Amino acid sequence: MIALLYNILQLILLIIFWPLIFAFVVFKPKYRKRIPARLGFPLPTRTVRKKGPTFWVHALSVGETTSAVPLVKGLRKHYPESRIVVSVSTESGEALAKTLLATTADEIFSSPLDILPVLSRFVLQIQPDVYILVETDFWPNILSVFRRKKIPTLLVNGRISEKSLADYKKFSFFFTPMFRCFSHLVMQSETDRLNILKLNIDQDKLHTLGNLKMDAHINIATDDMKFSKLLPENKRIIVAGSTHPGEEEVIFSAYSSLKTHYPDTYLVLAPRKPERAEEILALGAEQNLCGVRRSEKLSEFGDYFLLDTIGELADAYRHGAISFVGGTLVAEGGHNPIEPASMGIPVLFGPHMEDFAEVASNLIHSGGAVSVANHSELESTLRELMSDSTKREQMGLAAKACIDSQKGVIKQHIDLIQTVL
């Protein structure tokens, strides 16, 4: 009944607002480029069906694509004759997928809109044996289509914060039927599993197998110039990754103060949205910091390096002495601390690590990470680590050991996937 009402409402809204939607798509380059593909113009290539199964892996954006990479590579290794297609909702996520999975996936394409005729064309074209959704991006029609066609569907790397749980419970009439469409729901942590259990989901469908990013391999830079050549020599590098508005000002302030005591310090700042580059350069200029952009030809190093590209943050972490994970000094839920920790460098983050709560807690308790509440704590912690190379090394080793102890996640996922084929 909910699916029927959803489609009736969708049809009514499309009829009423189609002129506005059409104009919006035509005059917005971002949508003008992607909407035709998401409607199936063109459809993914109908490749020759291989001997093995066809896996359709879907990711919402950059973060989910990063999570999907080790799983897709694991599927390719275990099912070398399989056909693997990857759909991504956002332009930046699709660009990252094409960078990291170009030689692994058979096809990477824009995900279809949740409109029944559109979905039917995609499913008929792809003919998947299994649909794997990474982390989030739940839509009623696509899940109900797979359920009717008896195509197994898995949610992997699932997470559900207290805030999300409250929303899901409030609109349980809408979300619970969607979650029940999944053959299996694979959650990152036991807390996530217990949270989703509160939505009256069959517990036999629920599994806790850890975070896919635990098994992620380090991706080297794809540029012709080695990434190390972009950074000054003999500098201790602080890498601030996936930052959000409200954080850059704090980071620049702490960095400016730090440089007066430790002139061999150098900052690499990677905003979550590279299109904010001009805004961030202006913020740096307010504190007399001149930044250089990765996307432009470099003639000098400047006071800091602005990484305004997609897919190179891991390379920056590899050259770092200390890392700061963004989306944590502001209420954004936090971003991935696994990547810098696996590089063997100390990890700092703010109090808002809701989306990676268990990983963050483990890193703190292992001695590999520190949570800083504000500008003052960030600056004092950076000073302490800059002045004590032994502590930096010990924290880095602890962080890496914490991540290494939790590897093997991909094998557990592959074992589960085998049961639905």
Each residue of 249-292: pLDDT tens digit?
999 999 999 999 999 999 999 999 999 999 999 999 999 999 99
Mean pLDDT of 194-217: 90
Pairwise CA distance, residues 231 & 267, whole Å: 10
Which pLDDT band holds residue 21 (cuts at 50, 70, 90)? Answer: confident
Q: What is the pLDDT of residue 378?
A: 97
Whether 124 shows a pLDDT value over 80: the answer reads yes
Whether 45 shows a pLDDT value over 90: the answer reads no
pLDDT digit string, tens, across residues 98-109? 999 999 999 999
pLDDT digit string, tens, across residues 57-85? 999 999 899 999 999 999 999 999 999 99
Which pLDDT band holds residue 222 (cuts at 50, 70, 90)? Answer: very low
pLDDT digit string, tens, across residues 367-409? 999 999 999 999 999 999 999 999 999 999 999 999 999 889 9
Mean pLDDT of 224-235: 79
Cβ–Cβ < 8 Å for 168, 398: no
Q: What is the pLDDT of residue 201?
A: 93
3-state secondary structure the chain: CHHHHHHHHHHHHHHHHHHHHHHHHHHCHHHHHHHHHHCCCCCCCCCCCCCCCEEEEEECCHHHHHHHHHHHHHHHHHCCCCEEEEEECCHHHHHHHHHHCCCCCCEEEECCCCCHHHHHHHHHHHCCCEEEEECCCCCHHHHHHHHHCCCCEEEEEECCCHHHHHHHHHCHHHHHHHHCCCCEEEECCHHHHHHHHCCCCCHHHEEECCCHHHHCCCCCCCCCCCHHHHCCCCCEEEEEEEECCCCHHHHHHHHHHHHHHCCCEEEEEEECCHHHHHHHHHHHHHCCCCEEECCCCCCCCCCEEECCCCCCHHHHHHCCCEEEECCCCCCCCCCCCHHHHHCCCCEEECCCCHHHHHHHHHHHHHCCEEECCCHHHHHHHHHHHHHCHHHHHHHHHHHHHHHHCCCCHHHHHHHHHHCCC
Q: What is the pLDDT of residue 219?
A: 52
Whether 221 shows a pLDDT value over 70: the answer reads no
Delineate the domains of the chain, giving CATH numbers in brackets. Answer: 50-211+409-418 (3.40.50.11720), 227-404 (3.40.50.2000)
Instruction: Return the structure tokens found at 86.
Output: 């990857």
Angle, nearest 10°, between helix axes 409-418 and 62-78?
70
Task: Indicate the pTM of the whole model.
Answer: 0.84
Q: What is the pLDDT of residue 311?
A: 84
pLDDT digit string, tens, across residues 311-349? 889 899 999 999 999 999 999 999 999 999 999 999 999
Which pLDDT band holds residue 224 (cuts at 50, 70, 90)? Answer: very low
